[in-house]
Structure 1
């Protein structure tokens, strides 16, 4: 048993996204725009079909998934292993505040280096955690089924790279996940392949990764 299609879906906008504030594992809720984004994206995903739905237990991802449950009738399983990167002391800060306090570390992180941001997690640790969770849920889906995973920008990109067999340092080759947008992966004999990236409603905003 394994899913044939995997949809990695980023949550809708939050106040921290709108402010360009690093949220990490802080439980920041969707704002009004984010709730509207989730509903619009859910309408697209429901039309594509969903067999199993899982989400991070942080409210912004869980509430995004709930919009799809409302349309598809598929309940969301909440999994803390799908949470955003733990950004330690960076969490809750504006990006310019991080650059002022940790200029070298922030510049290295932006270059794609795999460092422990704010004393929290490395990209490799996030990739291992999230990709393992996605694979575990995918293996519980009937052959030919579709798994939708509602999670977070940095966590989803890390999982995507690991599932595609790419190093976490290759993240710069991919734009950040936009709010309420998703990537589609298809199962091939040799593993997962990327079919779509940052797909979704035109009204989704960029949001701050993390």
Structure 2
């Protein structure tokens, strides 16, 4: 059976702010030494899948992660601002402890998956999911069925963009886990244009499902 288009959404490598538990949002933070090693290791795995195209968020941590894969595949990296992480407003730059202390009720609502504005002036999960899904759909159109697009982006962008693409009802979004640094999620487009989830928060090469209902 022939495959449909595949999209692999790769989270960027670790930054110093990740390691410190600091909310990055759209603040433009570079990879740290651990993150650069993660990006290189992920690239060595994913190059074996022979992707046809790479597109990245414009933020430095994503672009550096994409560059590691580009070096392995000799592909050019397209850049799309819509793949940025959530804009977290006044929370950007604060640690989780500081956010808990300064805005405890709002923080608890965000943590439990409510569609509130982070920091009171940030971007909702629905807004984030809509722009990321729009970007992924457009870039997926440039590849043929059976080919793979790698989208290098951010944890929140993956979680919310994927669920938008899958059509998951908003109230069920909190049941899906996040994505680790340089881990990935894979979607495949069906003949009827629906997207299905085939891998989530993975760090090993995807394998075909055999006899899933037998």
User: Taking structure 2 as the reference length, what is the TM-score of the superposition?
Assistant: 0.90
The alpha-carbon deviation at position 140 of structure 1 amounts to 1.6
Q: Does the aligned pair in 2 maintain the 1:54–1:78 contact within 8 Å?
A: yes
Output one character per residue of 1:150-179: Cα deviation in whole Å (capped at 9) or x when no partner. 000001111010111113442321211100
User: Which of the pair has more CA radius of gyration?
Assistant: 2
Output one character per residue of 1:13-52: Cα deviation in whole Å (capped at 9) or x when no partner. 0000000100000000000000000000011100011001
In the other structure, the counterpart of 1:74 is 75
In the other structure, the counterpart of 2:17 is 16
In the other structure, the counterpart of 1:102 is 103
Structure 1: distance between partners of 2:168 and 2:103: 28
Output one character per residue of 1:108-164: Cα deviation in whole Å (capped at 9) or x when no partner. 011110011111100000001110001010012123211100000001111010111
Structure 2 unmatched ranges of 5 or more: 205-214
Q: Secondary structure at the match of 2:198?
A: strand
1:1-210 aligned within 5 A: 4-118=5-119, 119-190=121-192, 191-200=194-203
Structure 1: distance between partners of 2:133 and 2:116: 19
Structure 1: distance between partners of 2:171 and 2:42: 29
Q: Secondary structure at the match of 2:151?
A: strand
The alpha-carbon deviation at position 4 of structure 1 amounts to 0.9
How many residue pairs match? The answer is 199
The alpha-carbon deviation at position 186 of structure 1 amounts to 1.1
Q: Does the aligned pair in 2 maintain the 1:123–1:168 contact within 8 Å?
A: no
Task: Give the superposed CA RMSD.
Answer: 1.1
Q: Does the aligned pair in 2 maintain the 1:38–1:64 contact within 8 Å?
A: yes
The alpha-carbon deviation at position 56 of structure 1 amounts to 0.2
Structure 1: distance between partners of 2:172 and 2:86: 17
User: Taking structure 1 as the reference length, what is the TM-score of the superposition?
Assistant: 0.92
